[in-house]
Amino acid sequence: MAGAKPKQFFMKHEQMDFEVQAIMGTCYYGGADVGEILAAVERIKSGDFESWYQVWLETAERVQGFAEECAKAGNDVSAREAYLRAAMYFSSSITMIDGTDDPSRGVPTWQRHLACWDEFCARCAPPAEKIEVPYEDTPMPGYFFAPDDSGGPFATIIFNNGSDGPLAGMWSEGIAGALRRGYAAFTFDGPGQNGMLWLHNVGFRYDWEKVITPITDMLVARKDVDADRIALSGVSQGGYWVLRALAFEHRIKAGIVDPGVMDVASAVMGNFPKSMIKVLETGDKEKFDRDMKMGMKVAGHEARQNVEWRMKPYMTDSFYDWVTESQKYNARDVIGQIECPMFVADPEDEQFWPGQAQEVYDALKSPKTIVKFKAEEGANWHCEPKGRSLYDQRMFDWLTTVL
């Protein structure tokens, strides 16, 4: 089942237009500025991936220049705000880097995003604390934000990113709203996300409890964290990872999914013709990969860009392995083990996992709440890109009733 096609406001190219809407949504918490966004949109050629990269890169470099000037002059508030916007623009520039002639620019550009994010974090009040969470052979990079310098202990929310969101995006997708309400916040790069992927070549895993449990171990050991009031929030594909983790990690007292994602692979499988599904079911890897390569040539440059971007965190160049691995990301067999209260966001016109928020809600056996976000409220589409204030109001108001 496919979701409704998003209404396009800025560009004819559907993916670019949705990305612009998502960037626009960060304005509420200072992640971007409307004028800077619109000025960039005017210069981007719709459907031209190189144009997308260059315009957002130039915007990021200009705003980074503002930040550096402010920092040099000792104007830390202005510097902090500009560094956050620069981080968002650098990350935006590489969302379609695989469609350009030189995808190798992606990692260096992402590193510039990270440098600006770190500068922003260092100027928060109080400054965010950089933490390395023990994880197998490669520690996970994380950031702990306290709402004040009282030392707590604070109710704390772990903010779990999705499949391809930048660290800077988590400021607008939970951290800022949490700090305003007196919560501490922790965000991180897990396997397949940002630094773990780009710098350490560590890919996704379906058994996300192996990621959240060491994070919970770290948090409960901190004196400034109230170990009895820890929540876990996941956006986009994080809507699956949170379900999987909470089925096994019961020290966490509340779960939030935006949206609810029961079956990650359905977002991919829904785009395949029946003939390809049949080949997949027979287990004929060679034929499936061959047919996919032929299909990609017919589909063209745009399809190649999108698929290569999505495959990267799965650490494979085989279409068959990508799809079969993603089929493991399914919470149906474990969702009944979740014990804590759950908040399930259900945005109208969900494009990637339509109908799954309701399926998640129906399958949960723990206390649960499902909240609809509608087009008439300006809060439809995947992760409510234009309705972050409304989302935060409803989610955090619910959280006060369970923590």
Q: Which pairing describes strands 342-347 and 129-133: parallel, antiparallel, or unpaired?
A: unpaired
Q: What is the pLDDT of residue 297?
A: 79
Q: Are 256 and 242 in contact (CB under 8 A)?
A: yes
Per residue in 158-200, pLDDT (tens digit) is: 999 999 999 999 999 999 999 999 999 999 999 999 999 999 9
For the whole model, what pTM was predicted? 0.95
* Superfamily the domain 12-123 falls into: acylaminoacyl peptidase (1.20.1440.110)
Among 236, 318, 326, 366, which one carries the catalytic annotation?
236
Please tell me the predicted confidence (pLDDT) of residue 270: 77
pLDDT in tens, 100-134: 989 999 999 999 999 999 999 999 999 999 999 99
Q: Is the dihedral of CA 304, 305, 310, 313 positive or negative?
A: positive
What is the model's pLDDT at position 367? 98
What pLDDT was estimated at residue 38? 96
CA distance 174 to 183: 10
Closest listed residue to residue 99, CA positions, set 172, 49, 39: 49
Identify the pLDDT of residue 222: 98
Q: Kind and range of the H or E element at 230?
A: strand 225-235
pLDDT in the model for residue 60: 98
pLDDT of amino acid 5: 64
Q: Backbone phi, then psi, for 371, in 5-degree steps?
A: -125, 125
**pLDDT under 50 in the chain at which residues?**
1-2
User: Regarding the domain with residue range 128-264+329-403, which homologous superfamily does it belong to in the CATH classification?
Assistant: Alpha/Beta hydrolase fold, catalytic domain (3.40.50.1820)
pLDDT at 272: 85
Distance, in Å, from the CA atom of 145 to the CA atom of 219, rounded to the nearest integer, reads 12
Beta bridge pairs of residue 143: 130, 187
**Catalytic status, residue 78:** no
List the chain domain ranges.
Answer: 12-123, 128-264+329-403, 269-317
CB 68 within 8 A of CB 109: no
pLDDT at 2: 46
First to last CA, the chain: 36
Alpha helices in 199-338 (DSSP H): 209-220, 238-246, 266-269, 274-282, 285-299, 301-311, 319-326
